[in-house]
Structure 1
Amino acid sequence: MEILLMSYLAGTKNITKKYLSKMISNKIVFIPTAGNVEPYTGYIDEGVEMLKSLGYELEIIDISKYDEDYLKNKLSKTECICISGGNTFYLLQELKKKNLIGLLYERIKEGLLYIGESAGAIIMSENIEYNQIMDDKSIASELDDYMGVNVFNHYVVPHLGEYPFEETAQKTLDTYQNKIPLVPINNNEVILVEDHGYTVLTEKK
C-alpha cells in the first residue's frame, strides 16, 4: 500500500508527479463529490488542471449522480482514484449510500494509487467525527455513523495555518491532540502512507 494525502492538490504538483510516475496508464478517476455542498470549489478546478498539465486523462465522476453498480465497476477497474476536497461528512455519506467504503479499502490494500485531498484525505482514517470543527456535519443528514475507510491509523488535519482555515484547523489540533494521533499539514505538504508507516513530504517551490 502506498497512498498520498494532502490539503491542496494543486499545491503539491512535483510530489504528485513523482508518485503518479508509477502508473502504467494515464487515466485517473477523479471524484469531486465533496465539493457539491461548498460555496467555493475553485480548488477542484485547479487540481483538475494540474493533473491534466502533467499529461493525465481524467474521468470526472460525481458519485452522487450514478448508481452503485456503475460506480463499483468504474472503481474496480481503474489504476488511480483521486478524491478532492469539500465537506468530509457529505463525502462519506455519499460513499456509504453507494456502498463504496469496503471496495475502496480493498483496492487501496491491493495497491491502488490513491490521492486524497482534504476531505479525500480525512476519510482514510478510522473515524471522521474529529473533523466536525472544520466541517459542518449537519449537511450530511443521512449519515448515521462516522467510520471512515480506515487505511491510515492517524488523523489528518489539513490546511494548518492556511486561509480561511487558520482558526478551525488550530482548534481541531488543540481539541484532539491528546485524544487521537493527529497529523497536521499545510497546503504544500503531503502525507505518504505506506504499509510500515507514513512520511510527511514538503513540495519544493
Structure 2
Amino acid sequence: MKNLFLSSSLFDVAKFLPSFLSGIDKNKQFKSVAFIDVASQIEEYKANIDRAKCAFDELGFLIEMIDFNQSSDDIKKSIVYCDMVYVAGGNTPYLLEKLKAKNLLEQLKAKKIDVFFN
C-alpha cells in the first residue's frame, strides 16, 4: 500500500508526521528524507522551503537535498537511500517536466513509502 501525506504547509502540520509514520510501520525508524524542491526554484516565494527544512530538522531527520543538476542515477540512488521523499510545492508543470526529463516518475512510484507533497 502507498501512503501519501498531503499538506499545504508542512511546517504547520509537522507535529502530525511522527504519528502518520508510526501508522505506516511501527517497527521502522524514519530518519532520512529526500527533499525535492525543484518546483519552487522558479517561484518568487521560497520561505516555505526553509520552513519545511526547519520542520524536518526539528523532527531529527537527515535531509538529502535532491539536486536536479546531478545525473538521473545519482538522484535515483538518493531516493532509494532515503526513508521517504518530500516534494515541496511550487510550479507543478515545471516539476513534472523535470521529473520526466530525469526519468524519475517510475522511481517515485516504486518507493515503498510514498511521496509527501506540500
| Alignment of 1:35 onto 2:35 | no
| Alignment of 1:4 onto 2:8 | no
CA–CA distance in structure 1, aligned partners of residues 21 and 73 of structure 2: 27
Question: Does the Cα contact within 8 Å between 1:28 and 1:58 map onto a contact in 2?
Answer: yes
- The partner residue of 1:106 within 103, 110, 117 is 110
| Alignment of 1:72 onto 2:73 | no
For 1:27, give the aligned amino acid.
Answer: S
Deviations 1:89-134 (A, max 9, x none): 1111100000000111122xxx3242111xxxxxxxxxxxxxxxxx
For 1:55, give the aligned amino acid.
Answer: G
Ranked by relative contact order (alpha carbons within 8 Å, sequence separation 6 or more), the top structure is 2
Q: By percentage of residues, which structure has more strand?
A: 1
For 2:65, give the aligned amino acid.
Answer: I
For 1:30, give the aligned amino acid.
Answer: F
Question: Does the Cα contact within 8 Å between 2:21 and 2:30 map onto a contact in 1?
Answer: no
TM-score normalised by the chain length of structure 1 = 0.52
Alignment of 1:88-103 (within 5 A): 88-103=92-107
| Alignment of 1:51 onto 2:56 | yes
Rg comparison, structure with higher value? 1
How far 1:77 sits from its partner (Å)? 2.7
Q: By percentage of residues, which structure has more helix?
A: 2
How far 1:17 sits from its partner (Å)? 2.7
CA–CA distance in structure 2, aligned partners of residues 49 and 14 of structure 1: 12
CA–CA distance in structure 2, aligned partners of residues 60 and 100 of structure 1: 15
Q: Which residue of 2 aligns with 1:173?
A: none
Q: Which residue of 2 aligns with 1:116?
A: 117
Number of matched pairs: 113
Output the aligned Cα RMSD.
Answer: 1.5
Alignment of 1:1-205 (within 5 A): 1-21=2-22, 22=25, 23-62=28-67, 64-107=68-111, 111-117=112-118
Question: Does the Cα contact within 8 Å between 1:79 and 1:113 map onto a contact in 2?
Answer: no
CA–CA distance in structure 2, aligned partners of residues 39 and 27 of structure 1: 28
TM-score normalised by the chain length of structure 2 = 0.86
Gaps of 5+ in 2: none
Question: Does the Cα contact within 8 Å between 2:34 and 2:85 map onto a contact in 1?
Answer: yes
Question: Does the Cα contact within 8 Å between 2:30 and 2:84 map onto a contact in 1?
Answer: no
1:89 is paired with a residue whose SS is helix
Deviations 1:16-55 (A, max 9, x none): 2322344424111111111110011001100110111111
Percent identity of paired positions between Structure 1 and Structure 2: 28
